Structures are given as structure tokens and as C-alpha cells.
Structure 1
Amino acid sequence: MRKKLTLLTAGFATAALALTGCGGSTAISTAPAGSGDTETGSSLFEVASDVTLEGSPTFDKMKEADKVIIGVKEDQPGLGFLDAGTGERSGFDIEIARWIAASLGFSADKIDYKAIPSANRESAIVNGDVDYYVGTYSITDKRKDQVGFAGPYFVTGQGLLVEADNSDIKSEDDLAGKTVCSATGSTPIQNIKDNFPDTKTTEFDTYSQCVDALKDGQVDAVTTDQAILIGYAAQDPDALKVVGEPFSTEKYGVGIAKDDTALREFINTMFTDGGETWTKIYDATLGESGTKVDQPEVEAY
């Protein structure tokens, strides 16, 4: 990715859209099953038919169950968001997850979503609670000890969210003596602990809890990937703002069972060959901010 995400603006709020896609004779509603949303929208991807994937126990499990269970986030506007009022899911990660399902032959009504806190992602994959996970999941060597990754499908960097009237914190250089919040088990909170010893930390299961703590004055800043923080700031620009430049590199991957090489290669091939679809998904979600970014190359291993 060669264009910094700091260019994202308040227009990001419009990214929380309920999209509908269709392909061939098979329509894909990106609203959750049972939502009643049958409007026809952008054609994002088709549901594949007669899919075979030899050597993938995860795919075999999906086929036997006639459904796919996807681990997601649901409190990240523009990325993975669940509208409590309508029951509709939206965001870039959600569409990536649906694209994978469609490529494997599963339509929207064959998808079950599970919201998994950051700290529980590895265990959810290892225990088979989800078939794969798509939710701002940074690829790290430590995590590769337990799970596998396809991708990356997106690259961002760690940022800071503060109250709109905060003039003390302008970047990560101003964190000494401050209290910073992030999600338990996330790479951003570990980065603060490892590299900012004079900074206090508070952790919650979700980033939205950190944002609430920031608004209540319990913490001085929230840190996670800047793309996520901009979504929160766009929701409440009078109360919140993003400061500074990204101070890490986070590569989002699709979390899968560690030894499921066949599924990893399938998804990586889908990303590599599906540049046009990736761009459509980006433009319909994060791209609503007006920014353009490059799809990253996958890292096969």
C-alpha cells in the first residue's frame, strides 16, 4: 500500500453500507440471512458452483455442514460493523469474508457469523469454532505458531485516537505518563507495552469499549490500526480525532487452520487473480472516503 491512510476523512462514515451483489444467475445479498434486504446493488462477485478443494479439512467440514462459519468483528465502522437496529453487517472485512465464501460455493444464506474478541481469535480457529476469520487480523510470526494466514489483503498502520479538544497528544512521542487503551490480545497493545515503557495501558475485549472509556475520561488515547480509528472519529467528529502518522505496519490476513495449506493457497490465488473484485469491494466500503490504495501482494509460505 503506497498511499497513507491518514488521508481518510470524515467521509469514511459513509462506508457503513448494506451492499448487495449478484453474479450470473446467482444473486448474493450481502445483508445477513433473514434481514429482508432484497434490493439489487453493486455486482461484486459471483457464487461459484461445483467447487472442489482436495486436501482441505476445513472445506470438507463446510461442505458436510452445508454452511460456513466466519469469525468477524462487529464494532468497527467501515471494516466489520453490525447495525444493532437493522441486523445488517457491512464493511470491507465483511465483504472480503463473503467473497471468500462465494468463491468456495457458499451463498449469503449459508454463512453464519461469529463475533470473536481479539484475544480469542487463535483459540477460535484452533478449536474449529470458526472455519476462517476476517477481522483486522494482523499477520505475525507469533500467531503463525498457532494458526495459518492467507493474504495479506490489506495493509495499514497503528495510530492514535484522542478527544477532539486534546492538545497534549499529537503523536506517539507524547504518550509518556498517559494511559492508552486497546483490545486485549491485539498487536497494538503489545507494541505499546514493548516500546513505550513510560505509558500506562488499559485493555478491554473490544475497541468500542476503549472508545467509550476515552469519551468518559478514563483513558487519554485509544490505539489500534488507523483505518479502524478513523471510522470511530468519523462517527463522532465533534468528540474524537485521529492524531499523528501511523507508527507501525499491520498486514491484515485471513486466519485459518495452521496446516490447511490447500485452503490457504486457494484464498491466496483468489486474491491474486481477483484484483478487479478486490477494487470493487474497496471502492464500495473504505473507498467511500475518496482515497485510493493498492491491493497488497500475497505472501505465500
Structure 2
Amino acid sequence: MKNRFTRKFRWSAAILSLIMMLIASGCGGSGNTDTLDAIKKRGKLVAGVKYDTKLFGLQDPATGNVEGFDIDIAKALAKKILGDETKVELKEVTSKTRIDMLKNGDIDIIIATMTITEERKEQVDFSDVYFEAGQSLLVKKGSPITGLESLNKDTKVLTVKGSTSAQNIREKAPDAVILEFENYQDAFTALKAGQGDALTTDNSILLGMQQQDPSFELVGGNFTDEPYGMAIKKGNPEFVKTVNELLKEMKDSGDYDKLYEQWMGVKPE
């Protein structure tokens, strides 16, 4: 009787173990589904972009349309993968939310003024550099602030949560008071309202703000290198390869230069 019970227990345990392995295998297969395949099956690319960053991704409150350099890159990628640039869904991300949204599968790719860093490489895979930027300072014209050397314990510097800009300014100006906001538009609104003395982020983003309000200007030049990359969930080498192929094709054809000049007003160096 005891032997029969033991054999029955072992048999049940073996079946249970097999079921658990199959479940784990199924879950793993779903989690590791290649993003490129998923995009093709869905018939739509879901891109995480900024809605608050002039020149790169800015939503028109009147029409609801989002326009900018990053948006046009997303459309070009949709055309390469699916043959139609309109087959793209744009989802708003911020510097704080974008990596979690990518990991959770809410978006297929981040195209949102995202600087390539070693720390971020541990969480996501990056495309080749698609835009070269550098961090700078935006101030009201006539401000006594002329660069990093002007920042002290009495200076309030505005920036955005989760950005490399916030980390950089703390290192470059440790005595300054740093105030962080949810997005760039909120930070710029605060600067215009006199809640801070300077706003810091990439010069490309600050140039967009300057275009919005010419009473502000960039000072001090760039004090960092900020190479932008498109971020993709780890484990998708074919998708990374496809994105890099698109960048090469756009640069070889001259389409990249045209797009750059259209939005930035100057030709890329």
C-alpha cells in the first residue's frame, strides 16, 4: 500500500512538474516575443514620444496633432516596417515614465529626446545615435547668469524629473537649488512665471522654447554631450538592426538632412 501511494505521489509530482514547465515555457515565449514580429502582426507601430517638446514632439492643443522631428522619424520607421507611415500610434511619454512603459509593453520603441547613457544601457537597448545634442542654460534676456560659473546657492535652476539634465546639473552646479518638474512645458511655464532663474536641458529642446518666447536666450554654450538614441526593449536584435538600417538609409538618401533642416532651421554639422 505504501509503495503504491509513493508511486502515485511521484507520478502526480511528475505531472505537476511537467505542467509547470509548460506554463513557464508559454509565459516565457510570450514575454520574449520579438517586438518586430509583434508590430507586423498588429499592423501598427506604437511609439513613445514627447508631447511637450517643441521641434521634437509637441501637441497642438487646437487640433490634437503631435508634430516634430521625433514624430517624423517614427513615421519613417512605420513606413519601413509596414510600408505606410500612417500605421503608427503615438503615445505620450515623459523622461520619468518612458522606460517603464517600454518594459511593460505599452510601447514598442522610445523616440523621445533620450540620451544614450551607460546606466540606461543596462535597462534598454539603443539604436545608433540619431541626434547630437548638448546641455545648456535658458535664461531671461538680461539675466546676470551667463553660464555654469554664475550658478550659486541663491540660484534656482529648473529641470525635468528622470532626465540626465537633472543629474548633470547637480554635478556641475552642486550649490544651486534644483527644482524638478514633470515635463518641459511645466518647467518653462515656471521659468516664465519667475519661479526660477534658469532652465536646463538639451540645447535642442531649449531652442524650441526660445522660438516660443524670444525674450529668453541660451547662455554659456553646451557643457555636456547628449547623443540621442531610440530605445528598444532588450532581446530584440532584429528590431535594433531594422532601426539602424532606417537611419543609414535616411542619411544616405539625404532625407535625414532635409528633416533636420526642416525642424532645426539649420543643416546638421
- 1:137-286 to structure 2, matched below 5 A, reads 137-166=114-143, 168-177=144-153, 178-238=155-215, 240-275=216-251, 276-286=254-264
Greater alpha carbon shift after TM alignment, 119-128 vs 59-68: 59-68
* C-alpha deviation, 1:170, in angstroms: 0.5
State the match for 1:78 in structure 2: 55
1:218 Cα deviation (Å)?
Answer: 0.9
- RMSD of aligned Cα (Å): 1.5
Sequence identity, in percent? 36
Q: Distance in 1 between matches of 2:82 and 2:262?
A: 22
1:74–1:115 Cα contact (<8 Å) kept:
yes
The residue number in structure 2 matching 1:49 is none
CA distance in 2, matches of 1:285, 1:132: 21
Higher relative contact order (CA 8 A, sep 6+): 1
TM-score when scaled to structure 1?
0.75
**How many residues end up aligned between the 2 structures?**
235
Per-residue deviation at 1:174? 0.8
Normalized per residue, which structure has more helix?
2
Of 65, 86, 89, the residue aligned with 1:88 is 65
Give deviations 1:46-100, integer Å, cap 9, x for gaps: xxxxxxxxx9711121122221111000111111111111222221111111111
Q: How do 1:22-101 residues align onto structure 2 when only pairs under 5 Å count?
A: 57-101=34-78
Q: Could you give the per-residue CA deviations for residues 240-274 of structure 1, whole angstroms, max 9, x where no partner exists?
A: 22112000000010011122111111111221232
Quote the Cα distance in structure 2 between the aligned partners of 1:109 and 1:266: 18
Q: Which amino acid aligns with 2:152?
A: A
In 1: Cα distance, 2:65 partner to 2:83 partner: 18
Moved more, 179-188 or 108-117: 108-117
Contact in 2 for aligned 1:68/1:112 (Cα 8 Å)? yes
Which residue does the alignment assign to 2:12? Answer: none
Structure 2: which 5+ runs fail to align?
1-31
Distance in 2 of aligned mates of 1:92 and 1:70: 13
**What is the one-letter code of the residue matched to 2:227?**
K
Separation in structure 2 between the aligned mates of residue 270 and residue 244 of structure 1, nearest angstrom: 35
User: Using the alignment, how far apart are the partners of 2:234 and 2:137 within structure 1?
Assistant: 32
Query: Pick from 87, 93, 109: which aligns with 2:86?
Result: 109
Displacement of 1:110: 2.1
TM, length-normalised to structure 2:
0.83
User: Counterpart of 2:129 in 1: which secondary structure?
Assistant: strand
1:292 aligns with 2:267: yes
Q: Per-residue deviation at 1:146?
A: 0.6
Counterparts of 2:37 and 2:245 in 1: how far apart (Å)? 19
